[in-house]
Structure formats: C-alpha cells, structure tokens
Structure 1
Amino acid sequence: MKVKVLGVIVGALIAAAPLVSSAASLPAPFEGSSTLQADGVVKSVDQANHSVTVLDARGGEASFTITDTRNLSQIKQGGKVHVRMMRNAVISVTQGANGQAAAAQIAQSNTGQSVSALVESVDHVSGIMALKGANGSVFHIQGRDPAKITGLTPGMQVVVAFAPQVSVAVAPVQ
C-alpha cells in the first residue's frame, strides 16, 4: 500500500515538474520607479503647506504637496510650471507570456495601491519597460537593476505595487 501511494506521489511530482520549472523561470519581483512629468499653469500656491494647484492644457486641475521645496518660493499664481512626480514600486510577474502562472508571492504595498498590467515592451539595456494598464493607458517603469529584468518579455502579466510615498518637485518654466 505504501509503495502504491509513494508511486502516485512521485508520478504527480513528475507530471508537475514542467509547470514548476516554467514558473521558476519567471523573473523574481524587482524594484523600479515611475516618473510622471507635466506642464501647467499655477492656479494657487500655499507656501505654508507646500502645496500647489495646477491647471493642465485641457483645463484639468490637480493639487500637489511638494516634497522638494527648493523652487517653491519662485512659484507664483498664473505662472507656468513643470511638475515632476516620482514613486518607487515593486514589480511582480503574475503570468508568463505563454500563459504560465507565477508561483511566487506578489509583493504588496502598504497602501494597497497596486496596478495589474501587461508588458508591452522592454528595453533590457536601460531597464525601462512600457506597461499597459487595465484601462488601456500605457505607463513606464524604470527597473532599478536592469540585470533583474533579463527574463521579462512582452506579453507577460505583472502587478505593480506602488510605495505610499510620492516625491513631488515643481519648477518654473522659463
């Protein structure tokens, strides 16, 4: 009886071996960063609270708490500005381009803010990847260590877990 059970277990392990080795070949979670840049016109400035409200070219409005305040004293209502936001992230492959699901645990951010995306393209030299979100928008992530994304290919599914901290700088446009 024990021999028969052991034979069934060994058979199951042999059958699962290709799945495990395929999942193991998927890249491990890696760190990266996302940088968003935009130009606009200052609607209001709150020097005391380090915040700026900006209107974009389409009339959209966004408020930012500025973490890099070096240029904040130069920002005036009605002036043109360049806003730069940076966020760190952990990227986890959830599915290979061949449809193989990853066995690795997906990194979670402290805020729970994560985005599922499809890898559109990867520049293995620079470490920059273009990712397409569920809503169809494309965004870019710069891998911290390009060597860690060598196995990343277009068609893979990933989850991007963003860090809760956002670095925001603003500068006047000359």
Structure 2
Amino acid sequence: MKVKAFGIVAGALIAAAPLASFAAGLPAPFEGSSTLQADGVVKSVDQAKHSVTVLDAQGGEASFNITDTSNLPQIKQGGKVHIRMMRNAVISVTRGADGHGAAAQSAQANTVHNLTAEVQTVDHATGIMALKGPNGAVFHIQGREPAKVVNVTPGMQVSVAYAPQVSVAVAPAQ
C-alpha cells in the first residue's frame, strides 16, 4: 500500500514537472530515498502505541513511531538501541551547475517540493548524492536507479519532494 501510494505521488510530481527543465537541458526527475541511522538509549517505550523515546549521546531527545515492530518487544527502558528511518522522495534538478534553469520550475519548487538543496558530490556508480540543505546541513539521497543520476553534477540545485510516509525500525544496539 505504501509503495503504491508513493508511486502515485511520485507519478503526479514527475508529471507536474515543467517541460522547461528538459528544454534547459536539465536531467529528468527521478525517485530516491533518504536513510537516517542513529544510536541512543531508550528513555521510554510504549509497546501499545509502537513508540519509543530515545536519548542521543549529546542528551538530545527524540520520539519515534515505529513502523517495523518486529524488534519492539525486545526494547526496554535504559537499553541501547539502533534507529533506522527511511523516507522515499522524488528529486528534480531545478538549476544546472552553471546557474541556468527554468524560472517556471524554480517558482514551482517553492510551492510543491519540501526542500531545495545544492548537490555537493555524486557517486554515479551507486546513485548516492550528498546534498547541502538551506540550513547548511549535508544529507544523502540515493537514487533508485543510478543511471538516472548520471547527468547530475556538483553545484546543481535540486528540489526534494518527500513522501508523507516514513519507515522507522528499531533494534537493540550491538
């Protein structure tokens, strides 16, 4: 169901992308995913609600609604855990490294997409891109099909439209 819903969202966003991006020689939009992994200590766990609150090494606190509950019965207060969050996205290049892009697409990026970032590095073999967000933080997105990121280069501006669903798994730390 989640995959089908993402496919519909992705299809709609790709279909809505202005044709100007292709005329400007920019790569076509493509699907990818972002994965965040972190370790921490369990502050609290609610088995019934499938939620866990974790403290990180700096004392920061975050709560997670666990979607993959296979390890949840093993999670106890005070125990060390490993959290893995994955979120699907559609990535659209809005401006080339040379600064050229479609004005219509840039305007759309501010209303349709969740985040605008600059490509820092691209591993064309794996499809993994390091992106620098508006707050200066660097994060990674992996293109589902590495061949679709072949024309993406450092310096390009991209819009990242995240799917509304987040997959969160928790496991005892080893």
User: TM over 0.5, yes or no?
Assistant: yes
1:66 aligns with 2:66: yes
User: RMSD of the alignment, in Å?
Assistant: 2.0
Aligned residue pair count: 152
5+ long unaligned stretches in structure 2: 1-19
Alpha carbons 2:116, 2:160 under 8 Å: kept? yes
Alpha carbons 1:22, 1:100 under 8 Å: kept? no
TM-score (norm 2): 0.82
Percent of aligned pairs sharing the same letter:
76
Quote the residue 1:96 is aligned against.
96
Report which of the two structures shows the higher radius of gyration computed on alpha carbons.
Answer: 1
CA offsets, 1:60-101, max 9 Å, x none? 000000000000000000000000000000001110001111
Q: 1 CA distance for matches of 2:104 and 2:78?
A: 50
TM-score (norm 1): 0.82
5+ long unaligned stretches in structure 1: 1-19
Q: CA deviation at 1:102?
A: 3.3
Pairing 1:24-173 to 2, within 5 Å after superposition:
24-102=24-102, 105=105, 114-173=114-173
3-state DSSP of counterpart to 1:151:
coil
CA offsets, 1:108-159, max 9 Å, x none? 8xxx661110000000000000000011000000000011111100000001
Stretches of 4+ aligned residues off by more than 4 angstroms = 20-23, 103-108
